[in-house]
Structure 1
Amino acid sequence: MSTAQAEPPPFLVPGMPFTAAELRAMERSGLVVHVVGDLYAPADRYPRAPDGRPTGREAGAGADAGVRWRAAAVRRLAGPVLAGPWAAMGLTAAWVHAGGEAPGVLEASVTRYHRRPLHPGAVTLRLEQSALALGRPAPGPGAEADVVVLHGLCCTTVPRTVEDLLRTGTGPAALRAAARLVPRCDPQRLRDRFEARRRRAGMADARRALEVLLDRPGRPG
């Protein structure tokens, strides 16, 4: 996956120059695509999945283009609010990696305490204070780094994101997001990771959920 920062994607936001109502009307007419929060993109510039839908489950060059747009969107929304190192995680990281449903809440690991912003912007932030954003490797033999930089955005790796979704995620959205990511992982290495971290809170349920996903027809075994 490329980590280079190309020219920023041309997002449209209410008031620059179109109003929110105008952007919604343009979305209905197919001229723009709603990305996340209050960010829109020109329909002819936004990457699309093989089935024609905007950035669902891309393949090939389109996948990297989709990641670039989604990473830029998260940086655009969260960057001005967060101070110090931070990394996208949870459903936000899953969306950056694989597309699918845009998150209604941006989740991030931060290294310092943040007060709730007076003007939170287009999306709500859910923050977890930890050293994750510093990119320290996971504990244990054969541990891998838990953070990767995608087009300028620090983001949890695919295996770490699967772990977070199954360990702390609630509801069907977390399971759908994990199901999109599991095929990108080596099954045995994922099982080994979950086994090595079995003492973490929520890992018993996470391990059971992982086995269900790995046993689905068409998944790597």
Structure 2
Amino acid sequence: MGKERPDIMMFLIPTTLGESIMFNYNESVSNELINPYMKTPGFAVLIFLLHPRGTGTVRLRNTDPFDSPILDTNHLTNKQDEDDLLAGIRMFEELISTEVMKSLGADLSINEASFCSHHQFRSDDFWRCMIRHIAHNFYHSTSTCKMGIKGDPTAVVDLDLRVQGIKNLRVCDASVFPSVTSANTNAPVMAIAEKFADMLKKERKTFT
């Protein structure tokens, strides 16, 4: 209540999570929370933190351009991020307690993991423990190559998507977002691509 934009998204999928390799959980977590239910009819809910406050880094590993960079996501380094995920879990608990969900046989008890059993099941401490064990980054990563005005020391590209300080190099993807957008990124990425296409067309007309 009182927030200017949503900070949590619930994503219900009409299947259990299936292959644990998708989430890269260690064997003990997979054996307890995923593998036993791979062929069980049901649904799963993913609770997304839309605007994480923790700031990660992308650094060069060395001078070899073909070596992978060093990525540090810094997930959950800001306590408010954990608090927001906990609030999302509490919202889902309210949903799962409705008569419609009960009629479907929806049950949270399969989340009673042994690795968090030193906390009372469904207590704040229990869910925080679960967040620390199973929260992960998803596939809508953005904002590693910020777009900004000329003179902004934090900007990598300018408003025409040119990499500042390097000639004839531009970036046109989700990395140029100045901040993480709410929900899925496909629409704003298409907007960036359309903007870039229009700029290129105008520049071509200028040279012809």
Per the normalisation by structure 1, the TM-score is: 0.25
Structure number with larger C-alpha Rg: 2
Q: Name whichever structure is richer in strand by fraction.
A: 1
| TM-score using structure 2 length | 0.26
